[in-house]
Amino acid sequence: MMHSVIKILDKVIGFKTAQAHCDIPCKIYDPSTAQLAALSCIRLLDLIKEVEDKGDLDVAGFAQISRLVIEKEAACTEVKEAVRIIWGDYFKATQFEQVPTIHDLTHAIMLQASMCKQSIDHVEGEKLVELVNQFADAFWLTKGVPTYRATCPYPPMLTVVYPDLKG
C-alpha cells in the first residue's frame, strides 16, 4: 500500500534519484563468519538430537527444541549472508578468473543452508561445513594466503579451513 502511494507521489512530484554503492568500502572480508555460523548450525542440530534422545518431551523440552530450531535457522541465514557479501562485494573479474567455480559453489552453499533450515539431519550440516570450507579455501587462494585444515577446538569438533598467516 505505502509503496503504491509513494509511486504515485513520485509521478506527481518527481523525486530526485539517489545512487549508492557502499557507505564505507572497508575491504575487510573473512569467511570465518560463515564458518562459525555453519559450525553453530551443526552444534544446534546436535543439541536438538540430545533433547530428542531424552524421550518423553514435556512443555519445557518442546520450548527448548523451539529455541534451538530458531537459532539453527538464524545460523543458516548468517552463513548465507556472510557468503553472499563476500561473493557479491569482494569477488570481481580477477577472482572469478582464479576460481571459475565460485558461482556454482556459492549457489551450492545457498541451497545447502536452506536444506539445513528445513532439516534436522546432522549430515546436512556436515555438508554445509564442507562447502563453506571450500569457499574459505577459494577466498584465501585469491588473497595468496595458504590454508590448512585442523579440527576446531570446540563442539562439534569438525575440520575447518584456516588461513596460514605465519608466512
Residue 156 DSSP SS3: coil
Digit-coded pLDDT (tens) for 110-162 = 999 999 999 999 999 999 999 999 999 999 999 999 999 999 999 999 999 99
Full-model pTM: 0.84
Q: How many helices (H) and strands (E) does the chain have?
A: 6, 2
**Count, residues in the chain:** 167
**Cβ–Cβ under 8 Å, residues 38 and 74:** no
- The CA-atom distances, in angstroms, between 125 and each of 17, 22, 71, 120 are 43, 32, 14, 8
Is domain 26-163 annotated with CATH 1.20.120.400?
A: yes
